[in-house]
Amino acid sequence: MNKINSIRKDWSLIETLIAEDRKILDIGCGDGGLMEQLENNRNAITHGIELNRDLAANAIARGFNVVHGNAELDLSQYSNNSFDYVILSQTLQAMMKPKDILSELLRIGSKAIVSFPNFGHWKIRLQLLISGKMPVTESLPYTWYDTPNIHFFTIKDFLNLCNEMNIVIEKSIGLTSKGKQFDISESVTGVNFFTHEAIFLLSYKNFEPIKIKSSKKVFTKNSVIAN
């Protein structure tokens, strides 16, 4: 089969994070574009969830396993560790409970891939600083009163949350607004300033040993994760 080219820049980066022959769940899969790319180029087995009825219908008609539904309500139906990768591309900021979604991603999948627009980008900071109004940019093109994006966060915020949830960042890719790509973890200074869009490969892989704080040595069932 011929390799197909990505329609979106972040899709080709997501593809680089995924090994061959894996089972993948794409949340917010649209009409199956990324699924098609990963089936073709990575020989993946793909499943998808899509909230928009017409997009879901298109994806099904194109032969993909797609469930028309709402990820915030429907993720609980999937069993633990039933996928190798769960992908959430450009939608975390539109979720009601982003933290719950993050933990669901890593319950269902061995690894999660999350991409989002960085609210800490210098253009956004400058807009708010100078105009005093909520920023409107190419990646966040909506006015504050009419936007699907209800939780704005920066790379720093995301890293803090991952740290709090004991999520390990295996790889992180940043994209500048000009499409220049770099490794977020290596370029320390100014990352949160210049990253326009960020893509993370996450896992729970590197558990820290359980720290026993109390002398009573009480273990909770999920002590490794809850800690």
Partner 1 sequence: MKTKFTADTKLESEIAYFENINLKLESGDIIDSFKLAFKTYGKLNADKTNAILVCHALTGDQYVAGNNPITGREGWWSRMVGPNKPIDTKKFFVICSNVLGGCAGSTGPKELQNGSDVAYGGNFPSITIKDMVKAQSLLIESLNIEKLFSVIGGSMGAMQALQWAIDFPDRILNIIHIAGALKHSAQNIAFHEVGRQAIMSDPIWKNGKYFENNEVPERGLSVARMIAHITYLSENAMHRKFGRKLQSRDIISFGFDADFQVESYLRYQGKSFVERFDANSYLYLTRAMDYFDHDETFRKNIEFSHNPNNHLKYLIVSFTSDWLFPTIESKIIVNQLNSLSREVSFLEIDTDKGHDSFLLEEPQLDDVIKGFLTNNFEKIDE
Spatial CB neighbours of 117, under 8 Å, sequence gap ≥ 6: 90, 93, 139, 140, 196, 197
85: contact with partner 1 by CB under 8 A: no
> What SS3 class is residue 125?
helix
Q: Which residue has the tokens 């032969």?
A: 63
Looking at 6, 40, 82, 103, which residue binds partner 1 (CB under 8 A)? 82
72: contact with partner 1 by CB under 8 A: no
71: contact with partner 1 by CB under 8 A: no
165: contact with partner 1 by CB under 8 A: no
62: contact with partner 1 by CB under 8 A: yes
Query: What are the distances in angstroms from CA 64 to CA 57, 136, 222?
Result: 10, 34, 36
Looking at 6, 15, 68, 136, which residue binds partner 1 (CB under 8 A)? 68
Written as six digits, the tokens of 205 are 């892989």
Kindly state the smallest distance separating residue 158's Cβ from partner 1, in Å.
28
63: contact with partner 1 by CB under 8 A: yes
Kindly state the smallest distance separating residue 108's Cβ from partner 1, in Å.
10
Q: Are 17 and 41 in contact (CB under 8 A)?
A: no
Separation of alpha carbons 65 and 46, rounded Å: 7
24: contact with partner 1 by CB under 8 A: no
79: contact with partner 1 by CB under 8 A: yes
Q: How many residues does the chain have?
A: 227
112: contact with partner 1 by CB under 8 A: no
Angle formed by the axes of helices 33-42 and 9-16, nearest 10°: 40
**Which CB sits closer to partner 1, 58 or 103?**
58
206: contact with partner 1 by CB under 8 A: no
69: contact with partner 1 by CB under 8 A: yes
66: contact with partner 1 by CB under 8 A: yes
Looking at 6, 40, 67, 203, which residue binds partner 1 (CB under 8 A)? 67
Looking at 10, 14, 64, 197, which residue binds partner 1 (CB under 8 A)? 64
Written as six digits, the tokens of 156 are 């720093």
Size of the site for partner 1 (CB under 8 A): 23
Q: Are 165 and 99 in contact (CB under 8 A)?
A: yes
Written as six digits, the tokens of 116 are 């989002």
Written as six digits, the tokens of 74 are 């429907």
- Chain residues that interact with partner 1, rule: CB under 8 A: 23, 47, 53-54, 56-58, 60-69, 74, 77-79, 82-83
